[in-house]
Structure 1
Amino acid sequence: MSRVDDVRAWLRERGAESIAHAGGSLYEHLNRVHDRLAAHGLSEDEQLAGLTHAAYGTDGFAVVLLEVTARRELRALVGAPAEALVYRYGGCDRDRTWRALPETQTVWSRFTGHAESPTPAQVRAFADLSIVNELDVFERSAEIAAKAGPYFRSVFPTWAPLASPSVMDDCRRVLTIG
């Protein structure tokens, strides 16, 4: 079995196939995010983070597959770099982080209440995962697209200097941004 197969088995064991999410189940969403990151040629660590990005829940999705106190388990499954991205992504306080990210390159944690200043490569991975995740949700839920589309269109273009060019091209195409 490959590492991705191991992660998929872990997600099924945690019930991700039976958790509702835009466009089907959480399991389906996680796989689509993984596949989209892969299609952009992003690293295996980023792809594995995409496959597990909701493990600790997120600021926009409260379901938890693994308590944040059990980070060691996810780290053993996906590796330290991927788990660190999952922790950063899942813990991100979006209200405090997203609009200011291009200026501050700071991610505020809803887990700790503290801010961190990731490296430029870590900021890029965070931005790429955030955008790809939201594009998948946007494409699969007319309700979310109508509600969050204007916000995404106002925030994500400002992330262009931070995100991968192919992710930004995809973002512009999906959100129909000029």
Structure 2
Amino acid sequence: MQIAPNTVVSMHYTLTDEGGQVLDSSAGQEPLVFLSGARNIIEGLDNAIQGKSAGDEMKVEVTPEEGYGPVHQELIQQVPRENFQGVDTIEVGMQFMAQTPNGQQPVTVIGVEEDGILLDGNHPLAGKSLSFDVEIVEVREATSEEVEHGHVHGEGGHEH
């Protein structure tokens, strides 16, 4: 069976950045299981594996536009230290949840300065080209319930 929208895909992957540094991998773990076409994984990777079958291996290059998007400068802001009352030490790389007009959003500390803390609300992989080494393990038809819910049920998927 070939990967198409509304198929359940099990795959192993290794994700590297432009410098070849491994950012994430399923090596030594269970494969990633997802519903193709349901925005369960980034668009560029889902598009690239369409038509592939169990046993296929490939390298997939994903641009920022088909990955986590470009860096939005308006999501980088300096906030007063007073916003972090009760936090004794603030260091670059720490993550917090910020209250925004659209609800809570994760932010990453990218700078600690005397007059405030520089926060980035972009996804940590925004603006980056990504490389995936992929091995398709299994492909099956999704159940009508999985399609309706937009995710995989059962082993490797969501339990209700």
Q: Comparing both structures, which one devotes a greater share of its residues to helix?
A: 1
Q: Comparing both structures, which one devotes a greater share of its residues to strand?
A: 2
> TM (normalized to structure 2)?
0.26
> TM (normalized to structure 1)?
0.24
- More relative contact order, 1 or 2 (CA 8 Å, 6+ apart): 2
Point out the structure with max Rg over C-alpha.
Answer: 2
